[in-house]
Structure 1
């Protein structure tokens, strides 16, 4: 059978008998080209090429050394149920890694445009270098706990692959939304004619708090309240929001270049953050309605 014919027929066949080692490899390659994620279990020398060709090679502790060295997973006990647990953990890890990628790429893409655009029309730096470093440090803490977050059932039901095109669309869509609300913050602070130190303090607070809270939006393609976030993600996010809000009023504020914010500015910034979260939630629903992961 030709390679093209095998690719078209392989999904319709449940059992292959009396096949040679190179034919095992051909079947696996055909399955992969047909769009399947392929795992292969083998324990002998004649299984090495198939183990290498599969997406995941699986062997056992009593297998030939070369088979164990080629496989990605070696079972230490005679229990195939561990593979189900491994598949589930792998999909959880993949889903949470995607959340981090979505969060980091969209936030950095939006901040890049915000900082570059603000530098064109502001007569001063919107944030000092030490304030930028502090922003990166504080926003990293909630992202570090994404690894322990709960995952949507849809992400566990079937395997997923990296889709750079999807990630690019997500980054551009939510990066632009982030940048729009950064410019809205600039406009409000300039309209209120605040001093430079308060301008930097206001944007710092808005940027860090919105970046921490937006994790709850991008972590799931479902509604904001349909899937409970992980405990550690909720704790770290609440801690960072509280710490960022209190920082301008601590003795450390003058050393970082911050000033306490009047109640009017706090009210405006709170409204902007709320509108940002609601807009991102609405954009997420529209986005996933037209773009499938």
Structure 2
């Protein structure tokens, strides 16, 4: 037993056998080992999902802010708004441990591969930045001028501040919704919802987080964070088209990633 990779004993074995065992069976069945292995693989898979998706999301946000610093005359999102965004997003991601794993992924042992997380981050981070940049353009050149009735550079002090708050609120909502919704696309190697459904806790908690993020700008809490109510045309012009296009591109990039590297995580 001491030479075995994994030594197994039963609970009524002699003391020396139990002391040498790595696993002591409390039931007269080896099926508990199968369930334990599958549960361990599921937990490990969900850890990889959380780390990969969160790393790519954070990398995308940093890249988007770097791009914004080259062109925008103000911060695309205030520091306190970024902290709030992070809190709401990670509250939803806290349900990831309850998510399902694809059955195919559970069939074979997996190893911790940091290089795969790095690849994931470099592929999907810039993908999200594409739509952050389009959101910048739409907010700066279309939504802002429509709401304030003038372009940014023709405004005075107070109006400029209103423009900035509107811009930052628009990106806050877009960023929260896109990086939450893409979790549904990247949590599985299959086609989401059609071939693989997220676990109910993950679906409910993340949806609740998106709803909270959408409501905040219309509340006193939003005022505290320098947010303003978004005009109705923000949703059909910016949020919904951006969300749809991003999810479709993320699914396409996911397939190319799997073709190249053989697996998503």
Equivalent in 240, 248, 256 of residue 270 of structure 1:
240
Q: Distance in 2 between matches of 1:215 and 1:239?
A: 14
> What are the within-5 Å matches in structure 2 for residues 23-172 of structure 1?
47-48=1-2, 50-51=3-4, 54=5, 56=6, 58-61=8-11, 72-172=22-122
1:269: how far off?
A: 2.1
Q: Distance in 1 between matches of 2:115 and 2:216?
A: 39
- Give the aligned CA root-mean-square deviation in angstroms: 2.0
Equivalent residue number for residue 197 of structure 1: 165
Equivalent residue number for residue 250 of structure 1: 219
Q: Secondary structure in 1 aligned to 2:28?
A: coil
- Asked if the contact 1:100/1:143 (under 8 Å) is kept, the reply is yes
Q: Which has the larger radius of gyration?
A: 1
Closer, same or farther: CA 86–135 of 1 in aligned 2, 3 Å: same
- Asked if the contact 1:152/1:227 (under 8 Å) is kept, the reply is yes
Q: Distance in 1 between matches of 2:210 and 2:204?
A: 10
Equivalent residue number for residue 232 of structure 1: 201
Equivalent residue number for residue 289 of structure 1: 259
Q: Distance in 2 between matches of 1:230 and 1:152?
A: 12
Closer, same or farther: CA 246–70 of 1 in aligned 2, 3 Å: farther
Comparing 70-79 with 96-105, greater Cα deviation is found at 70-79
Deviation digits for residues 24-72 of structure 1 (CA, Å, limit 9, x no counterpart):
xxxxxxxxxxxxxxxxxxxxxxx33x35xx3x55444456768756755
TM-score, length of structure 1 as denominator length:
0.77
Q: Distance in 1 between matches of 2:208 and 2:84?
A: 15
Closer, same or farther: CA 74–262 of 1 in aligned 2, 3 Å: same
Q: Distance in 1 between matches of 2:172 and 2:92?
A: 16
Q: Higher relative CO (CA 8 A, sep ≥ 6), structure 1 or 2?
A: 2
Equivalent residue number for residue 4 of structure 1: none
Q: How many aligned residue pairs are there?
A: 243
1:117: how far off?
A: 2.3
1:76: how far off?
A: 2.7
Deviation digits for residues 212-264 of structure 1 (CA, Å, limit 9, x no counterpart):
11110010011122111111111112211211112111222211110111122
1:121: how far off?
A: 2.5
TM-score, length of structure 2 as denominator length:
0.84
Listed as ranges, the gaps of 5+ residues in structure 2 are 145-162
1:74: how far off?
A: 2.9
- Asked if the contact 1:102/1:218 (under 8 Å) is kept, the reply is no
